[in-house]
Structure 1
Amino acid sequence: MLRVNCVVAVLVSAVFALADAGWGAETADGAGTKPSVERRDDGRPEAAVETSGGRGREAARPAANLGEVIVRARRPLSSASSEEIRALDFALRPHGTLQEILNNVPGLVVAQHQGGGKAPQWLVRGFDGDHGTDFAVFVDEMPVNLVSHAHGQGYADVNFVIPETIQRLQLYKGPYFPEFGDFANAGALQIVTKDEFPQPFAFAEGGSFGTHRYVFGGSPRLGEWQTLVAGQAYFSDGPFRNPQDYARYNAFAKLRRAWDAGKELTVSGGVYAGDWKASGQIPLRAVQQGFLALAPLDLLPQAPTRPFDRFDAIDPTEGGKTDRQYLTFRYRFAPSAKEEWSLLAWGQRYKLALFSNFTFYKDTGLRFAERGGRIVDLSGEVFDPTLFYLPGDGIEQNDSRVLYGGRVQYTRYWFLPLAGPSAGLPARTRVAVETRHDHVSLHLHRQVRRQRFFTVNAVQVEERSVSGFLDQQLFLSDWLRIEAGLRGDVFFFDGRDRLPPGTGLLDPVLEECVGQTDPNFCAVAIRGNVTDSIVSPKANFIVSPTQTTDV
Structure 2
Amino acid sequence: MIRTRTQAFRLTLGTLSFFGATAFAQDSHLPEIQVRGPRDATIGTADSASEGAAERESFQSRPKLRPGDIVEAVPGVVATQHSGDGKANQYFLRGFNLDHGTDFAVSVDGMPVNMPTHGHGQGYADLNFLIPELVSGVRYRKGPYFAEGGDFSLAGSASLDYFSALPAPFVDITYGSNNFRRALAAGSRTVGDQTWLGAIEIEGNDGPWDVPENLKKANAVLRYSQGSPNRGFSITGMAYKSRWTSTDQVPERLIASGQLPRFGSLNPTDGGNTQRLSLSGKWFDKGPEGETTISAYAIDYQFDLFSDFTYFLNNPVNGDQFEQTDRRRVFGAQAARTMPTKFGALDGVLSFGAQWRGDRIGEVGLYNTENRERLSTVRNDKVQQDLYSVYGQQLVYFSDRLRGYAGLRGDMLRYDVQGREPVYGALNSGRGHDAIVSPKAGLAFTLTPQHELYLNAGTGFHSNDVRGATISTDPASGLPADRVPALVKGRGAEVGWRFQPNEDLTATVALWQLKLDSELVYVGDAGSTEPGRASSRRGVEATLRWKLDRAWRLELDGALSRARFRGLAPEGEGNYVDNAVERVFAAGVTYIDGPWTASLRLRYLGPRALDTQNTVRSRSTMLLNFGGRYAVNKHLTLGLDVFNIAGKKGNDIEYYYASCTGGEVVSGACNGGVNDRHVHPMEPRSARLSARWTF
TM-based fold match above 0.5: yes
Q: Which residue of 2 aligns with 1:281?
A: 249
127, 130, 135: which one aligns with 1:158: 127
Q: Which residue of 2 aligns with 1:460?
A: 382
How far apart are residue 330 of structure 1 and its match?
A: 0.7
**Distance of 2:51 and 2:228 partners within structure 1:** 31
Q: Which residue of 2 aligns with 1:199?
A: 168
Is residue 361 from structure 1 mapped to residue 288 from structure 2 by the alignment?
no
Is residue 399 from structure 1 mapped to residue 326 from structure 2 by the alignment?
yes
Gaps of 5+ in 1: 1-66, 292-307, 369-391, 419-423, 511-522
437, 449, 465: which one aligns with 2:358: 437
How far apart are residue 70 of structure 1 and its match?
A: 6.3
Give the counterpart letter for 1:326 in structure 2: S
The 3-state SS of whatever aligns with 2:128 is: coil
How far apart are residue 338 of structure 1 and its match?
A: 2.2
Equivalent residues in 2 for 1:91-490, closer than 5 Å: 91-95=60-64, 97-259=66-228, 262-291=230-259, 308-334=260-286, 336-365=287-316, 367-368=317-318, 392-418=319-345, 424-425=346-347, 427-440=348-361, 441-477=363-399, 479-490=401-412
The 3-state SS of whatever aligns with 2:57 is: helix
Give the counterpart letter for 1:539 in structure 2: A
How far apart are residue 476 of structure 1 and its match?
A: 3.6
**Distance of 2:261 and 2:342 partners within structure 1:** 66
Check conservation: 2:350, 2:392, Cα contact below 8 A: yes
| Cα-to-partner distance string for 1:342-390 (whole Å, 9 max, x where unaligned) | 111111000000111111111111x24xxxxxxxxxxxxxxxxxxxxxx
**Which one has a larger percent strand, Structure 1 or Structure 2?**
2
Quickly say closer, same or farther: Cα 1:213–1:174, change in 2 above 3 A.
Answer: same
**Distance of 1:116 and 1:95 partners within structure 2:** 13
Is residue 536 from structure 1 mapped to residue 457 from structure 2 by the alignment?
no
Check conservation: 1:174, 1:187, Cα contact below 8 A: yes
Check conservation: 1:97, 1:163, Cα contact below 8 A: no
Deviates more, 1:141-150 or 1:471-480: 471-480
How far apart are residue 197 of structure 1 and its match?
A: 0.6
How far apart are residue 460 of structure 1 and its match?
A: 0.5
**Distance of 2:405 and 2:507 partners within structure 1:** 17
Deviates more, 1:271-280 or 1:73-82: 73-82
**Distance of 1:362 and 1:446 partners within structure 2:** 13
**Distance of 2:441 and 2:191 partners within structure 1:** 45
Check conservation: 1:124, 1:173, Cα contact below 8 A: no
The 3-state SS of whatever aligns with 2:59 is: helix
Give the counterpart letter for 2:115 in structure 1: L
**Distance of 1:72 and 1:156 partners within structure 2:** 23
| Cα-to-partner distance string for 1:16-47 (whole Å, 9 max, x where unaligned) | xxxxxxxxxxxxxxxxxxxxxxxxxxxxxxxx
Q: Which residue of 2 aligns with 1:39?
A: none
Check conservation: 2:37, 2:56, Cα contact below 8 A: no
The 3-state SS of whatever aligns with 2:69 is: helix
| Cα-to-partner distance string for 1:169-213 (whole Å, 9 max, x where unaligned) | 011111112111111111111001111110010011111111121
**Distance of 1:70 and 1:86 partners within structure 2:** 9
Check conservation: 1:235, 1:245, Cα contact below 8 A: yes
How far apart are residue 73 of structure 1 and its match?
A: 4.1
Q: Which residue of 1 aligns with 2:415?
A: 493
How far apart are residue 96 of structure 1 and its match?
A: 5.5
Check conservation: 1:129, 1:186, Cα contact below 8 A: no
**Distance of 1:71 and 1:170 partners within structure 2:** 10
**Distance of 2:275 and 2:309 partners within structure 1:** 24
Check conservation: 2:222, 2:237, Cα contact below 8 A: yes
**Distance of 1:147 and 1:314 partners within structure 2:** 30
The 3-state SS of whatever aligns with 1:487 is: strand
Quickly say closer, same or farther: Cα 1:174–1:531, change in 2 above 3 A.
Answer: same
Larger relative contact order (CA 8 Å, sep ≥ 6): 2
**Distance of 2:101 and 2:507 partners within structure 1:** 29
Check conservation: 2:248, 2:265, Cα contact below 8 A: yes
Give the counterpart letter for 2:320 in structure 1: D
The 3-state SS of whatever aligns with 1:358 is: coil
**Distance of 1:279 and 1:195 partners within structure 2:** 37
Check conservation: 1:484, 1:538, Cα contact below 8 A: yes
**Distance of 1:333 and 1:175 partners within structure 2:** 28
Quickly say closer, same or farther: Cα 1:340–1:314, change in 2 above 3 A.
Answer: same
Quickly say closer, same or farther: Cα 1:98–1:542, change in 2 above 3 A.
Answer: farther
How far apart are residue 463 of structure 1 and its match?
A: 0.3
The 3-state SS of whatever aligns with 1:103 is: helix
How far apart are residue 127 of structure 1 and its match?
A: 2.3
Quickly say closer, same or farther: Cα 1:442–1:310, change in 2 above 3 A.
Answer: same
Check conservation: 1:162, 1:231, Cα contact below 8 A: no
Quickly say closer, same or farther: Cα 1:464–1:347, change in 2 above 3 A.
Answer: same
Gaps of 5+ in 2: 1-31, 452-498, 501-505, 511-695
**Distance of 2:401 and 2:372 partners within structure 1:** 60
Check conservation: 1:255, 1:267, Cα contact below 8 A: yes
**Distance of 1:285 and 1:72 partners within structure 2:** 48
Which has the higher Rg, Structure 1 or Structure 2? 1
How far apart are residue 284 of structure 1 and its match?
A: 1.2
Check conservation: 2:416, 2:432, Cα contact below 8 A: yes
Deviates more, 1:176-185 or 1:396-405: 176-185
How far apart are residue 256 of structure 1 and its match?
A: 1.5
Check conservation: 2:68, 2:130, Cα contact below 8 A: no
| Cα-to-partner distance string for 1:301-352 (whole Å, 9 max, x where unaligned) | xxxxxxx221111112211100000111111123x31222211111100000
Give the counterpart letter for 1:344 in structure 2: S
RMSD: 2.2
**Distance of 2:89 and 2:48 partners within structure 1:** 27
Check conservation: 1:280, 1:316, Cα contact below 8 A: no
**Distance of 2:222 and 2:59 partners within structure 1:** 22
| Cα-to-partner distance string for 1:467-489 (whole Å, 9 max, x where unaligned) | 00001222345554313210000
How far apart are residue 416 of structure 1 and its match?
A: 3.7
| Cα-to-partner distance string for 1:378-416 (whole Å, 9 max, x where unaligned) | xxxxxxxxxxxxxx2100001000110101111102344
**Distance of 1:401 and 1:71 partners within structure 2:** 33
TM-score, scaled to structure 2: 0.57
**Distance of 2:329 and 2:38 partners within structure 1:** 38
How far apart are residue 223 of structure 1 and its match?
A: 4.9
Quickly say closer, same or farther: Cα 1:88–1:240, change in 2 above 3 A.
Answer: same
How far apart are residue 117 of structure 1 and its match?
A: 0.9
Check conservation: 2:170, 2:185, Cα contact below 8 A: yes
The 3-state SS of whatever aligns with 1:209 is: helix
Percentage of pairs with the same residue: 34
How far apart are residue 72 of structure 1 and its match?
A: 7.0
Quickly say closer, same or farther: Cα 1:70–1:116, change in 2 above 3 A.
Answer: closer
Give the counterpart letter for 1:224 in structure 2: D
How many pairs does the alignment contain? 417
Give the counterpart letter for 2:146 in structure 1: F
